Chain A
Amino acid sequence: MTCLPAHTDKRLGLVIDLDTCVGCQACVTACKEWNTGGHMAPLTDIDPYGGNVDGVWFNRVHSYEHTTEMGGRTVNFPRSCLHCETPACVTVCPTGASYKRASDGIVLIDEDKCIGCKLCSWACPYGAREFDTDVGVMKKCTLCVDRIYNDNLAEDDRVPACVAACPTSARHFGDLGDPLSAVSQLVAERGGVDLMPEMGYHPTNKYLPPRAHTTRAASVPAPALEPVRTEGGFLGWVDRMLSN
């Protein structure tokens, strides 16, 4: 049913730190590697070694130049499904293929019901859904639903592949519905924001803005080296002899 659950027991999602993301694309690659064999498999690539390479990815990292009166900086920006509280991508689905889970709030697609009308991708303001032209159905991030509850994995590994791969710990996974969870506290502490709040989709995933420019950085240069003191005596004589 594409009607939304009135309440979800948990609100699982990601918190992405734009301050520490270095744009290495490790999350992108890890996501592709896991999911091309996972719940929404395959993540088809079209003409992967040709001139018109195209394919399905759940996670894409953009790079932006953010310029304010404080100066400019590069911001690397991972973009994936935000598992919104009121996702229009689900309600527009005519077949019931798209759904939001009442248990944890994850937005998923039942590939066997999808007719590939693409309307859900039009309804998503964030570009989270990508159409697989080869299979003829829509695909999207599953929040690695086949990892996070997977008893076959060590408990530490039961996080989305992108979170596990991030070398700078810029990606955090947890229950954003629980105000005491580590991710909720991180959002509160760092002033995490919603993307396009004016759209009214109430995204679950939060983004932590880059920290403010600091004045504590090494703005005072290290003290200059002192000139060698001229000495008398034996050492002074050696110094003069060698300097000649």
Chain B
Amino acid sequence: MAQVTLRKVVKKYDEVLAVRGIDLDINDKEFIVLVGPSGCGKSTTLRMIAGLEEISDGDIAIGGHVVNDVPPKDRDIAMVFQNYALYPHMNVYENMSFGLKLKKTPKDVIDQRVKQAAQILDITELLDRKPKQLSGGQRQRVAMGRAIVRDPKVFLFDEPLSNLDAKLRVQMRTEIKKVHQKVRTTTVYVTHDQVEAMTLADRVVVMNGGLIEQVGSPNDLYHSPATKFVAGFIGSPAMNFISCQLEQAAGALRVRLNDTLSFPVPADRTARYTAHVGKPSLMLGLRPEHITETKPHTESNQHDFDMLIDVVEPMGMETLVYFTVNGREICGRVNPNAGAEAERSMKLRADLSNMHLIDDSTGKVL
């Protein structure tokens, strides 16, 4: 059993606050991904859990015990580093068994555990090789093997896939997920790549400026972001933000983008949004997949409008179209056969049932 608990954890470097008092409960066997832009404090948080950074304030507990002053080796954790950090003078077997040897584990136990881990990771043939004889992906597997053999309470991954090429990254991502499904160890994984976060995590922790913006399942974060930051960070291409006003006209609530463009607010949102009528600095958030080409039949909350397309980007299975509203570039996803052409007007459809209304002054999704 290994829950990890962070209580009001602060990290200060001289006078710079890297982590500003975060609370987080990680459940046993859970796969948690910390994601955010560089400098958001995600790696610092991970290193504090590992014990590689002292915490300036607050408490970190692993398996119910506060570990603030416990050295890394006694925290029963294993860490996989971005640059693998394999010992270059040892072969794969020695790399994987180093920690167990230091703990004076019996030789036959070491042998059994190393071979078992090697089997899980499919690196049995590489056990005699030195790290320099391995490819990037193989090194990454060995680094994971080194973590697995120790059978720790918690796995910590610090951007483990950033050094791999795109194809290998996708492959190793699946590999990591498979390994977690097999060994079911509590895992904390740091990445700046939101796709990695979404695909791997049971729950994603989005961090920004040393604070946690939102914690939730990948689907929660995608469909119900709590802040503008989360809404813009999760999803690719990113969510469109268009400045707007909320107006009450003829008994109905409408989102007005400009003089020519306005949409009625879906009925189920009316009650939630009425209080914000007339508020300045409102923004409409709409994901690219909710701006499509027109279709023969219209469902509720779908509204057609004409727009001059600036740029067309064919992606194969879909085509991205870019146009400008209120001085901002907006992206839509249309069918490749919809006949989108640059510098030509096109009839598009906005699906408002998935709209988000954001108060830009607070950054909160309303």
Pair from one complex:
no
Using a CB–CB cutoff of 8 Å, the interface residues on chain B facing chain A are none
Using a CB–CB cutoff of 8 Å, the interface residues on chain A facing chain B are none
